[in-house]
Structure 1
Amino acid sequence: MKAPQWDKEVDVLVVGAGAGGMAAAITAHFHGSSVLLVEKTDRIGGSTAISGGAVWAPLNSQSAAVGHPDTFENAWTYMRNTVGDAAPEAMQRAFLNSSAEAVDFLEKNTEVKLAARKYSPDYYPDREGAAFGGRSLDPVMFDGRLLGEHFRELRDPLPEFMVLGGMMITMTDANHLLAVTRSFTSWKEGMKLVLRFFGDRLRGYHRGTRLVLGNALAARLFKTVLDRRIEYWLGAPLKSLITEEGSVMGAEIERDGRVQRIRAKRGVVVATGGFPWSPEMRGRLYPQPTGPWSMSPQGNAGEGIEIARAAGASMGSGYFSPAFWAPVSILEKPDGSYVRYPHLVWDRAKPGLMAVNAAGKRFVNESTSYHEFVIGMYRSHQTVPTLPAFLICDSDFMERWGLGLALPGGRPREHLVRAGYLYRASSLDELAARLGVDAKGLGESAERFNRHARAGEDAEFGKGSTAYNRYLGDAGHKPNECLGPLQKGPFYAVKVYAGDIGTACGIRCNENAQALDTDGRPIPGLYAAGNDMQSVMGGQYPAPGITLGPALTFGWIAGRHVAQNTTHSQAELETA
């Protein structure tokens, strides 16, 4: 048999430059493998770069130091009480057994630096095994100037999560900026941020170089790729996997308009970000109705999963949900493009916001997790139109907190009203007419909502009833951090749709991140990580960081395992 012609040979080929892909590439390189990292788009970072950046890693070495010592039994109990049987038990155990070790490896051998949260409740704090801090970690701020000329190759954050046209901020930063006229401490912190940002712009940077959240994590991984001189190609999509007798031997990668055959002597890791922008896969696997409402980069269109399936990989099953949900409001711009805003942790839990369906009725605890909120939308939609749903507030709320793209503090918002994104009316009856919802139902809902606010207890849906709810509320508002009245006009509303922040169903894998065929056997030479892998959470959302935690963990597992894979090289020796 004639030997195949290869354009390039490496030990390991990694497809996709998000957290999972870069973790795999760095780990494989650390263990002595030559690595090529290829990325479909022209930017490094994938979904990670535009995310909140939290990493859920139970049992990590920082937990006790921040006051939350953890045990495997507690973490396992919580996993079983949230994920249950929505994901294979062996995969859940593999994650819990390895997440802390993966984080320690990255902390010791890469630029990745994470800080455990002193207080950050798991999303179901009333379930046995839940923790109130320590398990979720945040990326430490990174100086983008350290990337040098490669800074422009890092994917920019979402513009909606920057201020002044390019300055990244955390929730703590946002609270300081909102209080600059009321607190000297906040004024000092706010001035530091602003002066740093304008200094960056004067030096010619296209945005601020003080990187936080997921952009900092992506930058830290990218800096490690650069420091270790791992070869990477941008604008290089995966076209196919090359197989021989059931083993993956390499891949076809398009670069500069030419398809190149890359030999991967130890294996290929597929980590292309899932399928949220594949209309076909979304239509087949998502509940209906669905639409182009994802917050993921539009390059995440499912090719990695489909190409892996063509090579024999099977899809996971038994999941609770096919995606990780978030309510998303959408602004159509004059040029026909769209701006999507995910209502994650800023506005929904604050006192004075109410969510209703087309009947004007509340249908969910507004301060629940973004994932549960959308599940509530779909549940309500079975009997009452709830897609879209409506977030409603009064003028006091708007000036204090803002609503989606409408910023607080008297900032301009007329353009959002004219564009049909923000609805405004002098009364709730008028607002109901503008939204097309039942006015009587809305009025009755607001009346009950206001009674709950005065009492400090939401007897209908429990807004503000858990530690997680109150964590995202207004700590200075009493008697309930999440409950406030709707009473002062004008009243405002935005429509929210069933958006997502990534997919949860993907390639079925074993504990080594090896892709499995339809009979449950590992496919030699094929691995998956990130959202291309069937989620170890099974489409449940136990805590902040449950996408990036597994992405880093199974990226590390895949990189370590593929670096030790000698199957292909041994076969070549025997053939020779």
Structure 2
Amino acid sequence: MMPAHETYDVIVIGAGAGGMTAAAVAATEGLRVLVIEKTAFVGGTTAWSGGMVWIPGNSKMKEAGLSDSVTDAVQYLSSTVPEPANAGLRAAFLARGPEAVAWLEANTAVRLQPVKACPDYYPERLGATSGGRVLEPVAFDGTRLGKAFARLRPPLPEFTRFGGMMVNPLDIPHFRRAGKSLRSTVRAAWLVSAYALQRLRSPRGTTLHLGNALAARLYASLLARQVEILFSADVEDLSMQGDRVAGVVIRHGSRDRLIAARRGVVLATGGFSHDASLRKRFFPPAAGFVSATSTAGTGDGLRLAATAGAALNTEATSPAYWVPASLFRRADGSRGVFPHMVTDRAKPGVIAVNAAGRRFVNEALSYHEFVLAMLRDGNGKPDRPFHLICDRQFLWSYGLGRIKPFTRNVRRYVASGELIEAPDIERLAASIGVKPTALAATVANYNVDAKDGRDPEFGRGSTTYQRHLGDIGHKPNPCVAPILRAPFFAMRIHPADLGTAIGMRVDAQARVLREDGTPVAGLYACGNDMGSIMNGNYPGPGIMLGPALTFGYVAGRHLAEGRVIREMAKEQA
């Protein structure tokens, strides 16, 4: 074994939300930290995400006048995560999640605010809340990163405007009402002007929102503490001293390097969404091979942990968190994956149909439940087609997939095959390989009740969550309207994952465990490298980032405990 020429207290593998949280906490506690990132950017999938963080009982709720309690959260989780597996980790999450938020806000650049009107995904269940458990990152000025801004993973271009402008979700209605409302017109004009000035100094907008703001805030925290980040480096192996993880062997450039870790290594590599062999092993056949995550998530953490004797937590009702997605080609030839989360499916005037041309789901359910319905309907066939169907009025008002509202010319989307157009429902059916009479009957039956805002077949718009995603200005049901105005459109959607739920088994201190339940000394995991504490269930928005930040914090604090204890002893002496 080659001798170590570099030594740190803590090595973190992966610069997503979980990994950067662990690194920021350990560094703030006085430890020397190295972050190893396989790509050229920090942020991982977090930088592409909505940045929602689900933390029941957080102090921000109380400050906003919203009530919550551990009892309510336990009651809610008992029905949405009914399996007994990982109950101890859920209890640890509920106990330490609010602590993590308070600590991060007091000691780092992380700033979060409650989303007051963002219901849990099953609002009819006991213990659910209508908002506040979900926290979102406060907007961040990217210029604060200086030259390091270039190292922050950009958001997906489909979620920006004008070639790089991020928009706060609260400002989207202003863009829709621009030209109709003086207040909205002034607000939209101010935002665009500010963006234009930013582009004079930067290749993209520097006012950051959503997951890009969260990633930037964590990155700023690392930079402020002079945490070293090694980019474009692959970890080849863990270095062991007996049964203890003592460092890593990395490939950086053309040579291998052994880097020692006095206290431990944190695995936060993002799960295995892009590893074909692990997907085949754990995913249902009907899931196919579409993922809305960063391509860096290839199971590195799981493979490294296995060499140290770590156990996998496979007790998950679902191996992944799901979202329906449409596929397309960008101008540069790269494949785009658009996750249909909240922008179109629940709006009035669109339905989802299966290969038989029939509706198979309440379109306004959570994206996870929507795909579970796709997988059930798919009956084990990975290429079974599903489509969203709408008319020209819907496409103009709400957009579809990456096609934004008020798009005047959709020719390029039709020409590429991303959007299918036809003058009537029968010809639309023929274009997507569905029996014309079947699709015509489906649309006609839906329209009979939709004109009165009703959906007796699936009850669309029947919960506060579904209505929250609809169009509040559409009466009487914000989620239901008939499909009437030619031309008609279809867009194919696929089951896709937002992250994997199967990962390493850990304890309440985020320490990786062996099959016999004993911890692997010096090895920790968080984020999607850690097995899902929700067992693959999806109770609310941000249930990946909430545990990622919490257990990243827990790992960082536990790694620093020995140092804190020694310093306290010195002070007492």
2:482 partner amino acid: P
Q: Deviations over 1:116-157 (max 9, x none)?
A: 011111000001110101100110000001000000000000
Offset of residue 66 of structure 1: 2.4
How far the C-alpha of 1:411 sits from its partner, in A, is 3.1
Checking the alignment, whether the CA contact within 8 Å between 2:25 and 2:556 is kept in structure 1 is yes
Contact 1:354/1:362, CA 8 A, preserved across alignment: yes
Q: Distance in 2 between matches of 1:383 and 1:479?
A: 38
Q: Could you say what secondary structure the match of 2:504 adopts?
A: coil
For the residues of structure 2 that align with 1:384 and 1:523, how far apart are their CA atoms?
A: 39
Contact kept, 8 Å, 1:45 with 1:155, in 2: the verdict is yes
Counting matched residue pairs gives: 564
2: distance between equivalents of 1:326 and 1:75? 24
- Does 1:361 find its partner at 2:358? yes
User: Which residue of the partner structure matches residue 90 of structure 2?
Assistant: 92
Does 2:210 match 1:218? no
What are the equivalent positions in structure 2 for 1:372-411 lying under 5 Å apart? 372-382=369-379, 387-411=384-408
- Secondary structure of 1:107's match? helix
Residue 426 (1) aligns with residue 418 (2): no
Cα drift, residue 336 of structure 1: 4.9
1:54-93 mapped onto 2 (5 Å cutoff)? 54-85=52-83, 87-93=85-91
Q: 1:440 aligns with which of 437, 443, 454?
A: 437
Residue 510 of structure 1: which of 502, 507, 521 is its match?
507
Q: In 2, Cα distance between the equivalents of 1:66 and 1:517? A: 43
For residues 341 and 535 of structure 2, the distance between their equivalents in structure 1, rounded to whole angstroms, comes to 20
In structure 2, the residue matched to 1:293 is 290
Q: Is the 8 A contact 2:285 2:382 kept in 1?
A: no
Structure 1 alignment gaps of length 5 or more: 570-576
Q: What's the secondary structure of 1:273's corresponding residue?
A: coil
| Aligned residue type for 2:341 | L
CA contact (8 A) 1:46 1:297 kept: yes
The residue number in structure 1 matching 2:323 is 326
Please give the alpha-carbon distance, in whole angstroms, between the structure 2 residues aligned to 1:477 and 1:75. 32
SS of the residue corresponding to residue 564 of structure 1 reads helix
Distance 1:155 1:263, change over 3 A: same
Equivalent pair of 1:359/1:384 in contact (CA under 8 Å): no
- Is contact 1:68-1:131 (8 Å) kept? no
Pairing partner for 1:106 from 99, 104, 107: 104
Match of 1:458 in 2: 455
Match of 2:183 among 182, 185, 203: 185
* Whole-Å separation in 2 of the counterparts to 1:500 and 1:363: 20
Q: CA deviation digits over 1:213-240, x for unaligned, max 9?
A: 0000000000010011111111112111
TM-score (norm 1): 0.95
The residue that corresponds to 1:572 in the other structure is none
The answer to whether 1:31 aligns with 2:32 is: no
Moved more, 167-176 or 332-341: 332-341
Change over 3 Å in CA distance of 1:305–1:86 after alignment to 2: farther
2:131 matched to 1:133? yes
Query: More deviation in 191-200 or 272-281?
Result: 191-200
What is the aligned-residue RMSD (CA, Å)?
Answer: 1.6
1:22 paired residue among 20, 23, 34: 20
Conserved? CA contact 1:56–1:543, under 8 Å:
yes
Cα pair distance change 1:86/1:407, threshold 3 Å: farther
Residue identity in the other structure for 2:367: Y
CA distance in 2, matches of 1:193, 1:86: 49
Q: Do the aligned partners of 2:287 and 2:375 also contact (CA within 8 Å) in 1?
A: no
Larger deviation: 23-32 or 378-387? 378-387
| One-letter amino acid of the counterpart of residue 47, structure 1 | T
SS at match of 1:84: coil
Q: Which moved more, 1:532-541 or 1:405-414?
A: 405-414
Task: Report deviation, 1:65.
Answer: 2.8
Is the CA contact (8 Å cut-off) linking 2:326 and 2:491 kept in structure 1?
yes
How far does residue 386 in structure 1 lie from its aligned partner after superposition? 7.9
Partner of residue 569, structure 2: none
Task: Report the CA distance shift for 1:259/1:412 in structure 2 as closer, same or farther (over 3 A).
Answer: farther
Bigger drift between 103-112 and 170-179 goes to: 170-179
Sequence identity percentage? 46
Per-residue CA distance 1:394-446 (angstroms, 9 max, x = gap):
01001101111222213332111111110000000000000001222211211
Change in CA separation of 1:14 and 1:385 when aligned onto 2, cut-off 3 Å = closer
1:238 alignment partner, one of 228, 235, 239: 235
How far 1:506 moved relative to its partner? 0.4
Pair 1:271–1:326, CA change in 2 (3 A): same
Amino acid aligned to 1:11:
D
Residue from 144, 147, 154 that aligns with 2:145 = 147
Aligned to 2:160: 162
CA distance 1:565–1:240, change in 2 (3 Å): farther
Asked if the contact 1:454/1:484 (under 8 Å) is kept, the reply is yes
CA–CA distance in structure 1, aligned partners of residues 556 and 421 of structure 2: 53
Partners in 1 of 2:531 and 2:84 — Cα distance?
11
Partner residue in 2 for 1:573: none
What's 1:44 paired with?
A: 42
Q: CA deviation at 1:565?
A: 5.1
CA-CA distance at 1:181 after TM superposition: 1.2
Residue 492 of structure 1 is matched in structure 2 by: 489
Task: Please name the residue that 2:275 is paired with.
Answer: 278
SS of equivalent to 1:52: coil
Secondary structure in 2 matching 1:254: strand
1:345 to 342, 346, 363: 342
